[in-house]
Each structure stands twice: as C-alpha cells, then as structure tokens.
Amino acid sequence: MLSCYNPETFVKTPNILSFSKEATTFDQHWIGSAPCMPARRDILCGRLNFLERSWGPIEPFDVTLPSVLKEHDIFTHITTDHCHYFRLGGEGYVQQFNTWDYHRGQEGDPWVSRIDDPAMPKSSYGKVRRQYQWNRTKWPKEEEYPSPRTFASACDWLKDNQGKDDFFLMVEAFDPHEPFDVPEEYMKLYEDAKLDREYFEIPDYDRVNVPDDAVDYIQKRYAALLTMTDKWFGKLIDQLKELDMYEDTLMIMTTDHGYFLGERDYFGKNYMHLYNELAHLPLIVKFPKNELGGQRISKITQNIDIMPTVLEASGIAIPDSVKGSSWMKLIHDPQHYEKNYALFGYHAMAVNVTDGHYVYLRSPNSENKPCYEYTCIPTTIRKYLGKGLEPQIETGRYLKRTEYPLYRVPVNAPSIIDNVSCGMSEVKATKLFNLDNDYAEKINLAGVDHQAEEYCIKLLDKALDEHEAPAEQKQRLGLKD
C-alpha cells in the first residue's frame, strides 16, 4: 500500500514517500515473531520471541535495548497509544524506559467508564466493540484521536529536549489498525467507497464473509487511516527538521506485521500462514549524515536487528543474548554483513524461513506436539497460561541464557488463535514458494521441487540451531524423530 514500494498503489502516503527519498529503503525486511507483543519483544530484546513462547510480557531475564541504553546514560522515552502494553500479557515493556507516555482509547481499551450502553450502529459488518464506541466519543476532532496525539506528544518531547544528544525516542502509533476509524474528510479522498450498512471498521478474523462492495469499502477505510497516519508522521519529520535535530539522528520506520483485507479470501491475521501480505514488511532508515541516502538495500533484515543497530550506532557493545545483526555494517563493511536468512512465525504454529529467493512455511506434525511455552510470568493475551493443565506444568531451568527457573507449560492449542473457529486448519499444509518467479505465492513447490525443499529444510534446521530454539521444535516440525 506504500508508494515507495508500489508506485501503482491507490493509497496516498506522500510524507512516507518523501522520507524514503531522503533515507534508505530496505526491500527484504521480514517479520520475526507475530503478532503484536511478540513482535515488540523481538524489537526490545534483539532476539526471536516465538520459538519459546507466545504473546507475553518482558521476562525478568530479558536484556532489553532501553535498559542497556540507560546503563550507558542514554535517556529513553516511549510515547504510544498501543493499548496492549497495559493489558494482561503486556507487562514490563514501557517500564524499560526512563519515561513513558500513553494515549488512551484504542481498540477495546477499558477507558471511558459508563454502565449504560453507547450509541451503537443499527447495521454492520464484522465486529462492533461496545467499549470502543464509548471511547471514540472523546475525540470529536482529528487531533484528539489517539495516534495523532501520539505523534503530537513526540513533537512536544522533541521541543522540550531540543538540541540534546544521546536519547532514544520510540514513537509507536497503533494505527493503521482496526478499528479503521478516521474523520470523514479522509474517506472523501477515496470517494467511491460505498457500504450498504451503517458500520464496517473491524473485519471478522475469518474467510471473507461480506459482499465485494464491502471488501472494497474496508480496503479504502484502511487506506484512509493510513493516509491520516502518514500526515502525522510528516509532522514528526517536520518537527525534527525545524529543531535542527534531523541530520544527525538515526531514524527507523517500520511496523510489526501486515493484515489481510480480502487478499487470498482472508480477513485479519494469526490463523493463516505468514504469507507475504503479513510477513514482508516496510523498513525505511535514515542513517546519520545521510549515509546511504536515497539508496535501496536488498539485504535480509528483521526487527531483531534494531537493537544491535542502535547499540552500535551509540558505541555500545552488543550483548551476547542478541541474535540480530547491526545495519551499521552496511555503511562501513557491507561485504561482511552476515545476515542471509530470516526465521519467523507464530508460536506453536508453522515455522518459516526465507533467504529472499525462497520462502518455506513448514507446518507441524498432525498432533502439533511436543510443544511448550517457557516463561517466568505465565500471562498471555487477556488470560493466564496453562489454565486446566496445572498438573502438567513443570518448572526447571530450560533456557541456557538464564538461571531463572521457568514454567514449562504444555500447549494443546496455540493461544493466539483461541478466538477463531478454523483452528490450525489453515496451516496444516507445508508451503514452498520461489519468490523470484512467484512473489504472489500462488504455486506451492513443497513436494514438487525436491532440491529446493531440501535446501530450505537445511536452512531451517541451521536457523533453529542458531536461534537456540527449544529442542522439541524440530520434533514438532518433523525435522527429527
């Protein structure tokens, strides 16, 4: 949807396009752990979350980017409207920073407290969240929406700290994310969007179950939200330039995962394979002093690389726990940039690997076992791990990087898909695609191109070892007896 990647897109994002022309655009940036909180643990820890556990908190043994920066007297701040940081399963993230700022109201954030029901639409497609309908009454103007408030607060933080060196500012906007809620002026940019219901902002996570006009409408509603987010991103860039803090600042713009808006007959995320719509991400980096400015880079990158990149740019040694690769080497020694694959996935589902030419989506065995979650803090999204399995939960020291005793919680079903009806059915078949010839991933070569599949199996086996995956992962994936 971004014009810097797809010039034919119908979506208007002029500020991101302008930024990309001044910065460096990466063409092989891949997801790591999915979805939201696993991706954030990847970013803050520089290693993959999904091999050991599902959605969950920062663990007491985690070595995080903000904590290392603070140890070296670099001030850290996060401003965000991401409500999952403040729910069960999101503990400990913002507390890694010196200071944090939270802008309330997104999704189901339990913010506006009313016993009575809000005004609800008379007809709708998808979901309508009662709590969100109350929350949205708090932003009659565009600048009062949570994501604009997030960007505005970042601009205020920069003004308050103008001219200061040695800081790490994480500006994290929840949008574009459902509910795809925008002021009407942005919908007018996509004038032919029509809907035969009063409301459609949150698709069901399922196969497409609405008419074609509604699919077109929700895509344009998403586009409108992306355009609004782009506007406020532009304000952040303008503020940095106005304060003369742009040229010597390392800036990284990326996201956590994609989203299906009718492609492949899917809505949402989580329950299907990590196809390119979900897994192949935007990454635009402005290096200090405009190094590599205006260039495109085709090296493999992931969000676990953010931590080592920021640390090396700050002159700080990279901890042994980090598995990502610093992008600073692309400036100083590009021939020796060591990353040549990306390993990615949801916990307890398929495990996937790409070298940028092939992508291999390896499904688990029919029982999806053995499979465990390893944690000191047994929370996950909106619930606790192991409910009903208490006699089967074990404790011990299972991860070589920590002496903390851990819970080892057996997994009967992946926690991230307990709210969808199709369970594991969408990932039961292994897939192999040649991206050079088939970027749309239409032709499954698994079981057909034996040479390519054997190459990918060896790459996956190597990747699991290098990322210290629990031993049972290979057994679950049928890579060993």
> Where in 45-178 does DSSP place strands (E)?
75-80, 99-102, 167-172
- The answer to whether the CB of 470 falls within 8 A of the CB of 480 is no
- pLDDT value at residue 419: 77
Contacts with 462 (C-beta within 8 Å, 6 or more apart), sequence order: none
- pLDDT value at residue 423: 82
Confidence of residue 422 (pLDDT cuts 50, 70, 90): confident
pLDDT 10s digits, 190-227:
988 999 999 999 999 999 999 999 999 999 999 999 99
Helix 306-313 to helix 36-45 angle (10° resolution) is 30
Backbone angles phi, psi at 374, to 5 degrees: -115, 125
pLDDT 10s digits, 306-324:
999 999 999 999 999 999 9
- The answer to whether the CB of 226 falls within 8 A of the CB of 220 is no
Select from 147, 108, 152 the least CA-distant residue to 228: 147
E strand or H helix that includes residue 283: strand 280-286
**267 pLDDT above the threshold of 80:** yes
- pLDDT value at residue 175: 98
Contacts with 288 (C-beta within 8 Å, 6 or more apart), sequence order: 247, 248, 249, 250, 313
Q: Which amino acid, residue 171?
A: V
Predicted model pTM? 0.97
pLDDT 10s digits, 108-159:
999 999 999 999 999 999 999 999 999 999 999 999 999 999 999 999 999 9
CA distance 350 to 368: 9
Tokens standing for 241?
A: 């330039």
26-35, 87-96, 162-171, 328-337: range with lowest mean pLDDT: 328-337
Helix 212-242 to helix 146-160 angle (10° resolution) is 10
**36 pLDDT above the threshold of 80:** yes
Cα–Cα distances (Å) from 238 to 37, 190, 202, in that order, read: 30, 26, 32
For 340, counting Cβ atoms within 10 Å of its Cβ (0-12 exposed, 13-18 middle, 19+ buried), the class is: exposed
The structural domains of the chain, with segments of one domain joined by +, span 14-329, 342-476
Domain topology for 14-329:
Alkaline Phosphatase, subunit A (3.40.720)
CA distance 481 to 470: 15
Which residues are paired to 56 by β-bridges? none
Confidence of residue 410 (pLDDT cuts 50, 70, 90): very high
